[in-house]
Amino acid sequence: MKKAAAFLARDGVVLFDNPDGFLICAFKRDNALCDPAPGATAPRQYDCRPGCGNAVRTDTHARLLRERAGEIDHLAAHAPGPLGRRLRANADKLRTMADDHDTTAQPAEALT
């Protein structure tokens, strides 16, 4: 934990948990895709966007993404055609995000 704190203090990064987005925002206003106001010290939590360089996922987030995808698949199985297809597409996107995490994940030690 001391290494992580030293790393964050070095760059002045503040972490914001976004459980609804299944991620942590390592907020840097200049990189944020959520379009924070000038001088903002926090992200717009409900405007997280895919591909933002501030987004950080843990293995737990990836697991939760897959669990949510399974829940959505269950709903899709009981939904009419077009709605079921949209739900399955959403579940597939969540699994892709989890898979992307798995392919690019680095241990915390590699970041210090």
Under DSSP, the state recorded for 37 is: P
Domain parsing of the chain, residue ranges: 1-56, 58-112
CB 43 within 8 A of CB 76: no
Per residue of the chain (112 residues), give pLDDT as tens. 466 556 555 666 788 999 999 999 999 888 899 999 888 889 998 899 988 999 999 999 999 999 999 999 999 999 999 999 999 999 999 999 999 999 998 887 776 5
Q: What is the pLDDT of residue 107?
A: 81
User: Within the chain, where are the H helices?
Assistant: 2-11, 59-77, 81-104
Q: How far is the C-alpha of 112 from the C-alpha of 104, rounded, in Å?
A: 16
The burial of 19, by beta-carbon neighbours within 10 Å (0-12 exposed, 13-18 middle, 19 or more buried), is given as exposed
| Token pair of 84 as six digits | 């079921």
